[in-house]
Amino acid sequence: MKLNCIFAALAAASQIRLMPLPHDKFHYKLVPQADHPVNLAQYENDFVVRMPYSSSSLEYLRSQDYKIWARNGHRKTLDVQLDAGRLAQLGSLFDLSKAEVIIPDLAQAVYELYPDKKEDVFAEGADFHATSEVFFKDYRNLEDIHQWLHLLQETYPELISLETIGRTYEDRPFRVVHLSVKDDDVNHEEKKTIVITGGVHAREWISVSTVLYSVYAMLRHWEQNPHDSKTLAQLDFLFIPVLNPDGYVYSWETDRLWRKNRQPVEGGDEGQCRGVDIDHSFDYHWTPSSESVCSEEYAGKAPFEAHELRIWDEYLNRTNEAHHIHGYVDLHSYDQEILYPYVYLCEHLPRDEENLIELAYGISKSIRWTLGKYYAVLPACLDRDLDLLPELGAGTALDYMYHQRAYWAYQLKLRDSGSHGFLLPKKYIEPVGEEIAAGLKYFCKFILTSGEAFAR
């Protein structure tokens, strides 16, 4: 939808749709406010525009606290949340002739994403079991996730163990899922550990669902292919479905588009100016933010200031001898990309760049063969616009884990690359889970075979 059609689109979007939507949800304005999942008025009249940008326009948008959803450093486009007034302000300063609307009615898009409250898969008498696909028909809140994980542990005690490694700032349990196939012929110290994380940024719900689906897919594979037990026994898996539990709960209950954690920050207030961006808080080429504490990418005053990140790093330090991390995959959304180190500087090449690229293309090919979706392979620095603002690549999980702990490390940006952004409809949960499970299967196979020759 080109920019010269934006205001027509806004007018159309403001008309109440009287027919049910594809997800069987009416327009939110036809639903009593008491039945809204969150306060939808905060998104009313907002839309999301994809626009080309330059260093001057990016710096302006950041300085004026525009809500930037995503940057594509390769295509040089920005996805920006705004209203008609801010669009007019922006259009008076920059050429927006190539801009287009990707989400014309943000409040409705948010409303459609929440599950029907009438559905409770854990209700007494419900036809639900641990590896039921029903769980992946909707996005799940933190309480449902914890219930499902406990059910998995009860169903597969020989494979699954849950560990609470600490408490979040708001006193929620920080949980790690440990999946390991026991085999008397394989010594524990010889196992190669794979770490898979999601939910670093609270609004990226598809990353949480995909980590959970990866656990589900692995259990299903183990049941259907018992002859693979010897192979699986060579690996240990640490899954962290929600690395930012407080932020994730806040995105369910208050602001669907919240990104950071929820700890107070110096100079902030009790409202919007809270939280640290966990993925800018790692102690590897960490750089303090030049912008306000309200920024969605606020890095804090010091590395490891993010409360949850300290818990995670302390856990890794305690278990360093028990878990020899060979692979790390950090799931995010959105843009369908496989990013390899380094983020902080394009001139600093990883120690085994050719092998990282080879493995990344193998993962991409496995994904494409599954459901036909293409995931681009890029050095992560290109994704972060380091030529424009170097601090955007500072203190990331990818760089820290690769440099400090993991032989093979990637960030995967999940679907989509089109018109949904962070609000990917629930019908894509299973397809995304399937394609990423296929990519992870290739990842593990590589590490167990040719990867061994490359590991430092």
| 101 and 170 both lie in a single domain | no
Number of domains into which the chain is organized? 2
| 243 and 384 both lie in a single domain | yes
Last residue of a domain, one of 67, 83, 112: 112
Q: Is 128 helix (H, G, I), strand (E, B) or coil?
A: coil
The C-alpha angle 172, 176, 180, rounded to 5 degrees, equals 160
Please report whether residue 138 resides in a domain. yes
Please report whether residue 292 resides in a domain. yes
Give the list of residues 6+ apart from residue 28 with CB closer than 8 angstroms, or none: 36, 40, 107, 108, 111
| 83 and 203 both lie in a single domain | no
| 136 and 69 both lie in a single domain | no
| 200 and 104 both lie in a single domain | no
Please report whether residue 456 resides in a domain. no
| 169 and 291 both lie in a single domain | yes
Q: Is 103 helix (H, G, I), strand (E, B) or coil?
A: strand
* Contact call for residues 241 and 143 (beta carbons, < 8 A): no
Burial classification of residue 277, based on how many CB atoms lie within 10 Å of its CB (0-12 exposed, 13-18 middle, 19 or more buried): buried
Please report whether residue 117 resides in a domain. no
| 155 and 261 both lie in a single domain | yes
- Is the pLDDT at 189 greater than 90? The verdict is no
* Contact call for residues 382 and 269 (beta carbons, < 8 A): no
Give the pairing of strands 376-379 and 325-333. Answer: unpaired
What pLDDT is recorded for position 24? 52
Mean pLDDT within 359-378: 97
Cα–Cα distance for residue pair 322/336, rounded to 1 Å: 33
Please report whether residue 118 resides in a domain. no
Rg (CA), the chain: 22
Cα–Cα distance for residue pair 360/402, rounded to 1 Å: 14
- Is the pLDDT at 218 greater than 50? The verdict is yes
| 185 and 300 both lie in a single domain | yes
Please report whether residue 192 resides in a domain. yes
| 95 and 145 both lie in a single domain | no
Cα–Cα distance for residue pair 7/11, rounded to 1 Å: 6
- Is the pLDDT at 41 greater than 60? The verdict is yes
What pLDDT is recorded for position 318? 83
| 301 and 237 both lie in a single domain | yes
Q: Which residue has the tokens 């999601």?
A: 198
* Contact call for residues 248 and 208 (beta carbons, < 8 A): yes
Give the list of residues 6+ apart from residue 88 with CB closer than 8 angstroms, or none: none
Q: 259-263: long-range contacts at Cβ-Cβ below 8 A with a sequence spacing of 24 or more?
A: 259/201, 259/202, 259/203, 259/296, 260/201, 260/202, 260/296, 260/298, 261/168, 261/169, 261/202, 261/306, 261/307, 261/308, 262/169, 262/170, 263/169, 263/306, 263/307
Confidence of residue 270 (pLDDT cuts 50, 70, 90): low
Residue type present at position 196: I
Domain containing 294 equals 128-451
What pLDDT is recorded for position 319? 75
| 221 and 363 both lie in a single domain | yes
pLDDT digits (tens, 9 = 90+) for 275-329: 999 999 999 999 887 778 888 889 999 999 999 999 999 998 887 666 788 999 9
- Residue 44 has a CB neighbour count (10 Å cut-off) of 15
* Contact call for residues 197 and 153 (beta carbons, < 8 A): no
Last residue of a domain, one of 112, 136, 160: 112
Please provide residue 43's backbone torsions phi and psi, each rounded to the nearest 5 degrees: -110, -5
Q: 24 — alpha (psi -120 to 50), left (phi > 0) or beta?
A: left
Please report whether residue 120 resides in a domain. no
What ranges make up the beta strands (E) of 401-448?
Answer: 408-414
Q: What pTM, to 2 d.p., does this model score?
A: 0.92
pLDDT digits (tens, 9 = 90+) for 80-131: 999 999 999 999 999 999 999 999 999 999 999 998 776 676 765 566 677 7
| 18 and 137 both lie in a single domain | no
pLDDT above 90 covers what percent of the chain?
A: 65
CATH number at residue 101: 3.30.70
CATH number at residue 430: 3.40.630.10
